[in-house]
């Protein structure tokens, strides 16, 4: 018997992720796999728990608002699975933030892509409401600004002037923007 399994791995710089398959353990192949390393819980979530819903396409007779409701329901399932996993497993704060945003942005991208899909699959020309496009653009822009601020607050340094008014390279401190 051939069993297919897709593993999604998350590896951090200067870390080793070990994937262990215990063939003696009973059950499904996914139950026999364990991860060891700093990002092991992230890989476990992505490979075994995350709810993937990539192939959700609009039906020909389905109204855009009904499709959006269906996507919202699937998004809620994905968020609930993530929150259940997070409740029982320690995940880094940065990954928790990343994953919530990823789930939400993926949901919004499905809602936006339905218009092109409807045209390609059914030759339906359905107009997009301006508010839908504005919503996804606002979300993406807020996310980008937040990420830039976090990056800059960690990476930028300010030189504090010494009593003589010249920059003192010994007194570098992080610039807190976020």
Q: What does the H/E/C string look like for the chain?
A: CCCCCCCCCCCCCCCCCEEEECCCCCCCHHHHEEEECCCHHHHHHHHHHCCCCCCCCCCCCCCHHHHHHHHHHHHHHHHHHHHHHHHHCCCCHHHHHHHHHHHHHHHHHHHHHHHHHHHHHHCCCCCCCHHHHHHHHHHHHHHHHHHHHHHHHHHCEEEEECCCCCEEEEEEEECCCC
Number of domains forming the structure of the chain? 2
Domain residues for 9?
1-49
The answer to whether residue 175 sits within a structural domain is: no
What pTM does this model have?
Answer: 0.71
- pLDDT surpassing 60 at residue 178: no
Q: Does residue 107 sit in the same domain as residue 137?
A: yes
| Band of pLDDT at residue 6, cut at 50, 70 and 90 | confident
Determine which of 53-57, 60-64, 87-91, 163-167 has the lowest per-residue pLDDT on average.
Answer: 163-167
The answer to whether residue 177 sits within a structural domain is: no
% of the chain at pLDDT higher than 90: 40
Q: Does residue 58 sit in the same domain as residue 146?
A: yes
The answer to whether residue 132 sits within a structural domain is: yes
Q: pLDDT digits over 99-137, tens only? A: 998 898 889 889 888 988 999 999 988 877 666 666 666
- pLDDT surpassing 90 at residue 155: no
Q: Does residue 4 sit in the same domain as residue 65?
A: no
Q: Does residue 29 sit in the same domain as residue 75?
A: no
| 161 close to 144: Cβ distance less than 8 angstroms | no
The answer to whether residue 69 sits within a structural domain is: yes
% of the chain at pLDDT higher than 70: 70
């Amino acid at each position: 018997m051939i069993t297919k399994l897709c593993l999604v791995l998350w590896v951090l710089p200067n870390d080793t992720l070990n994937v262990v398959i215990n063939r003696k353990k009973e059950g499904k192949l996914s139950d026999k796999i364990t991860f060891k390393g700093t990002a092991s819980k992230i890989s476990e979530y992505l490979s075994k728990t995350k709810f993937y819903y990539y192939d959700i396409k609009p039906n020909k007779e389905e109204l855009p608002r009904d499709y959006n409701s269906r996507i919202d329901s699937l998004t809620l399932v994905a968020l609930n699975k993530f929150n259940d996993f997070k409740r029982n497993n320690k995940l880094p704060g940065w990954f928790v933030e990343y994953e919530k945003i990823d789930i939400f942005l993926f949901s919004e991208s499905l809602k936006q892509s339905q218009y092109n899909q409807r045209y390609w699959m059914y030759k339906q020309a359905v107009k997009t409401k301006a508010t839908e496009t504005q919503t996804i653009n606002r979300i993406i822009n807020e996310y980008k600004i937040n990420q830039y601020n976090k990056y800059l607050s960690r990476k930028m340094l300010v030189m504090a002037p010494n009593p003589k008014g010249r920059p003192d390279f010994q007194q570098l401190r992080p610039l807190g923007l976020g």
